[in-house]
A and B are shown apart, each in its own frame.
Chain A
Amino acid sequence: AQSVTQLDSQVPVFEEAPVELRCNYSSSVSVYLFWYVQYPNQGLQLLLKYLSGSTLVKGINGFEAEFNKSQTSFHLRKPSVHISDTAEYFCAVSESWANNLFFGTGTRLTVIP
């Protein structure tokens, strides 16, 4: 089974600073990759996904992520964060033939005014 590692459980960053949230996965076979955001007391909302094609994926709210097959990584980036970006961010992976998403443990992004 897949495993997804989000090394940073908490990331504090000042407003308007850049941020990178790291995600690594275990499988070297064909995968689909996702980033979800969870605001307090809400469900998960899709930020972006990689299915195939260009390795640089742009999502909502100014976020982007880059798929690196050789490093089995899918790091999430934003060049300038806002207070409203404070939330929990989950990386998820699916093997292309499976009906399951494997989730990482999440990274709590806190934007400091």
Chain B
Amino acid sequence: NAGVTQTPKFRILKIGQSMTLQCTQDMNHNYMYWYRQDPGMGLKLIYYSVGAGITDKGEVPNGYNVSRSTTEDFPLRLELAAPSQTSVYFCASSSIGVQQLNSGNTIYFGEGSWLTVV
């Protein structure tokens, strides 16, 4: 039962460095999401994808890039890390969009990636 897998789980970056958070799901879900969770705050959507080759911005996209070349993978790229990007990042997936959810569908979350930029 792999579900949604994120790597790395913990990472410390220096200001200006770049890195990629990896996310993969084995449920053949079309929809994938990246959220960030700041201390004492709720999750905010960074980017999402409705299928391979299609991505769109969420609430807080600045400083990030994504790609969706396959159904399984949805990596999140930080090009020039800044202290404001210190956060916990969650990848998620669902078989259909939130607006189409019914009793048999939900959004599945990964375990999170703790990123600190110093």
Contact = CB atoms under 8 A, between A and B. Distances in A.
B107 A46 contact: yes
Contacts of A94: 98-99, 101
Interface residues of A, number: 28
A110 B41 CA distance: 18
Contacts of B90: 43-44
A41 interface: yes
Contacts, number: 68
Interface residues on B, range: 20 to 34
B4 interface: yes
A104 B42 contact: yes
Interface in B24-56: 31, 35, 40-45, 48, 50, 56
B103 interface: yes
Contact of B42 (A49, A99, A105): A105
A105 B102 CA distance: 25
Given A49-B101, A100-B45, A43 B109 contact: yes
B61 interface: no
A104 B40 CA distance: 10
Interface in A8-57: 9, 32, 36, 41-46, 49, 51
Given A41-B111, A98-B98, A105-B41, 18 more contacts: A32-B99, A32-B101, A43-B111, A43-B112, A44-B109, A46-B106, A90-B43, A92-B42, A94-B98, A95-B99, A99-B31, A99-B48, A99-B97, A100-B48, A101-B43, A101-B107, A105-B42, A106-B40
